[in-house]
Homo-oligomer: A and B are copies of this chain.
Amino acid sequence: MAKDTLSAVIDDAELRARQQLAEAWFVELRDAIRAEFEAIEDEYVAAHPHAGEAGRFEETAWKREGDAGGDDGGGGVMSVMRGRVFEKVGVNISTVSGVFHPEFRGNIPGTDGDAGFWASGISLVAHPRNPHVPAVHINTRYLNTHGKRWFGGGADLTPIYPCDQDTDDFHACLKACCDAYQPHYYAEFSAWCDDYFTLKHRQEKRGVGGIFYDYLDDGDFASEWAFTQDVGRAFLKIYPQLVRRNMDAPYTQDERAYQLIRRGRYVEFNLLYDRGTLFGLNTGGNVEAILMSLPPEVRWP
């Protein structure tokens, strides 16, 4: 076997090993999040016996049609819980592969010669019932094209009634996660988050920020992969604390009405600006999984 054929085989084996690693992690993180969120539902119902039954996640699997029309395009599993604390929370994992459409190719790194791609990730949006429990979004993903591989993701908090303690704790947890890897990560990724989650037409931020990163590829796969896993772990550490801290707070009908109006901003952002949403809808993604992020009840009075 010639040397460059051998190294190509090794590279290929390493690529596949990394893909399997990523895919398995997103399943593991998804399972841990589901268990924790269901435990919160159980705690709430134990404390409020008249609240009804504790919510449970329901799974729906979907397949993506292959780009040549077959069933080799991958797919995903959507998990949705409609509970007492979590009015609606969705967690999607997906692993898809194929060929980028010509109109997107120019925007994606490493697709000059070959437009093939492979991507795996997890995405979560939670809309709590109590207006004093902040909504949250996380997403982490691993992508490779023919010429590049990178990580992307982030976590951001959208309180209806921002509370300094919650905001500070959320940011502190993400900062600690970032600081364990690169000193510039937090400053860069939190600024990117503020910039990204802006409703330009209203000159408003969607929430109180967090971190956002994309095209992360500084050449150290092991470190970047560990960081991406730690973003998921940081979320799983801090967000349940914020939920438990606020889920018993009393609220008025006026506060509930205001929550439904603020949720309209969430819809406006996701349908007008969110890259993942627009990319998914424009490339034949699974509509129900993509729009799982939309709040269960909304008002534009």
Looking across the interface, which residue of chain B has its beta carbon closest to that of A290?
B201
Q: A96-104, A209-217, A265-273: which lies at the B interface?
A: A265-273
Q: Are B298 and A299 in contact (CB under 8 A)?
A: yes
Check A299 against B297 for contact (C-beta < 8 Å): yes
Q: Please, how many residues of chain A have a CB less than 8 angstroms from a CB on the other chain?
A: 24
The answer, yes or no, to whether A30 is at the interface (CB within 8 Å) is no
A82: B residues at CB distance < 8 A: 301
* A174 on the B face (CB < 8 A): no
| Beta-carbon nearest neighbor of A203 in chain B | B287
Judging by beta carbons under 8 Å apart, are B295 and A296 in contact?
no
Name A's interface SS. Answer: helix
CA distance A267 to B295 in the complex (A): 12
Residues of B within 8 A of A73 (CB): none
- Cβ-neighbour of A268 out of B264, B271, B282, B296 (below 8 A): B271
From 195 to 243 in chain A, residues with beta carbon under 8 angstroms from any chain B beta carbon are 200-202
Give the docked Cα–Cα distance between A131 and B261 (Å). Answer: 22
- Does A251 make an interface contact (CB < 8 A)? no
Shortest distance from the beta carbon of A225 to any chain B beta carbon, whole Å = 32
Q: A155: CB under 8 A from chain B?
A: no
Q: Is A39 an interface residue (CB 8 A)?
A: no
- The 8 Å CB contact of A281, one of B272, B282, B295, B299, is B272
Q: Mark A259-301, 1 if CB is under 8 A from B, else 0.
A: 0100010011001100000100110000100010011111111
CA distance A296 to B299 in the complex (A): 5
Q: Which residues of B contact A297 (CB under 8 A)?
A: 260, 297-299
C-alpha gap A267/B200 in the complex (Å): 18
For A299, the chain B residues whose CB sits under 8 A away are 296-298
Contacts of A202 in B (CB 8 A): 287
Q: Knowing that A272-B278, A296-B300, A298-B300 are A-B contacts, what are 17 other residue pairs whose CB atoms are under 8 Å apart, sorted by A's residue number? A: A88-B300, A88-B301, A200-B281, A201-B287, A202-B287, A260-B297, A267-B267, A267-B298, A268-B271, A271-B271, A271-B272, A294-B300, A295-B300, A296-B299, A296-B301, A298-B298, A298-B299
16 A-B Cβ contacts within 8 A? A82-B301, A201-B282, A201-B287, A260-B297, A264-B294, A267-B298, A268-B271, A271-B271, A271-B272, A272-B278, A272-B281, A294-B300, A296-B300, A297-B298, A298-B298, A298-B300
Residues of A within 8 A of B (CB): 82, 88, 200-202, 260, 264, 267-268, 271-272, 278, 281-282, 287, 291, 294-301
